[in-house]
A = this chain, B = another copy of it.
Amino acid sequence: MVDGCPSLLELCEQDIQKDLDRRRPGQSSIVSQRKESDKVQILSGVFEGKTLGTPICMLVWNEDARPDAYEEMKEKFRPSHADYTYQAKFGHRDWQGGGRTSARETVGRVAAGAVAKKLLRDRAGIEVVGWVSGVGEIHCDVDVDSVTQEQVEASVVRCPNPAISAQMIEAIEAARKAGDSLGGVVRCAIRGCPPGLGAPVFDRLEADLAKGVMSLPASKGFEIGSGYAGTKMTGMEHNDEFRMREGKVRTKTNRSGGVQGGISNGETIYISVAFKPTATVMREQETVNVRYEDTTITGRGRHDPCVLPRAVPMVEAMCALVIADHWLRYEAIRPR
């Protein structure tokens, strides 16, 4: 359910579907082989090919849920999963691998993000591009100003550098064979954002971007601009000096990551998100059962040995939603 999208935006199911296909399980050999077509239906909010300005309801059915594969989870808390914390919070949980505990909830985020991306592209000329910049120990430097979605999508691991992409795929295959899993880093660039989006204090643009992506399953860290590396620079090294270029105020460097004082400055906004290795591994681990006794558990089921390739559209979606929200707020109050 997406509320707040302006009217008269051209929107059809295919606009949503193409991002859902990038998130879908079974899209390549290195992701979960669960069989979900993830076909989206738009139930409301669009009329004659254009948004109505009222809430857009989109529906994707689960097609390949296998509750019986989760029988053991009825009794045991999986390590580094949400089983125990849901039990603690709610006194009750859907142990069948569904509900809010499943990363399938990100279908909704990606669908909503596709609407936000369309709005940003059509109305504001803003583009959101994400990619995998790290898998385990393998890292890839990418130019945030020029990387294209075509380059990213050329690789099943969604790393735009073909050589490094091949190494990443190899590492993921090896982890899978070992019944183990890998983590990594997604980066995302937001280009064409006008100066003026954000807010001075609580709703700083980087704060809302951080909240957005840190609400994704398995995320453990967030950076904007220079991030942690920037803490090791001095002020003289880190500052982005201003220069006029083609009639615009520009910065000579972009360690700020396109945001200064919580507000966009017109440069490319770029962030990174750290994802931990998938918690489900095919090996025995110690755990506790629902009667609060020590026991062991061995992972099963159709899980991703590495969530990174599928996390790219999720990060893009959350960034697009945050930027679209701030763009609309800016439209309301910008100096006219």
Contacts and interface: CB of A to CB of B under 8 A. Distances in A.
Nearest to A79: B239
A289 B247 CA distance: 13
Given A288-B243, A335-B90, A228 B228 contact: yes
B94 A47 contact: yes
B198 A256 contact: no
Given A8-B335, A215-B262, A231 B90 contact: no
A333 B6 contact: yes
A228 to B, nearest CB: 5
Nearest to A299: B235
Contacts of A217: 261
Contacts of A287: 241-242
A221 interface: yes
A219 interface: yes
A294 B91 contact: no
Given A233-B183, A281-B236, A274 B223 contact: yes
Contact of A249 (B77, B234, B238): B77
Copies of this chain per assembly:
4
Contacts of A333: 4, 6-7, 53, 328, 331
A64 B275 CA distance: 45
A52 B92 contact: yes
A332 B331 contact: yes
Nearest to A175: B234
A53 B92 contact: yes
Contact of A332 (B203, B236, B256, B332): B332
Interface of A: 1, 4, 6-8, 44-45, 47, 50-55, 77, 79-82, 84-86, 88-94, 99-101, 105, 134, 136-137, 175, 180-185, 194-198, 200-204, 206-212, 214-215, 217, 219-228, 230-244, 247, 249, 251-252, 255-257, 259-266, 274-281, 283, 285-288, 292-294, 328-335
Q: Which 6 A-B pairs have the closest CB atoms?
A: A82-B261, A91-B335, A181-B235, A88-B195, A211-B211, A85-B263
Given A206-B219, A252-B286, 18 more contacts: A8-B90, A84-B242, A85-B196, A86-B261, A175-B235, A180-B236, A183-B231, A202-B215, A207-B214, A210-B222, A220-B227, A230-B277, A231-B277, A235-B279, A241-B286, A247-B292, A255-B276, A328-B333
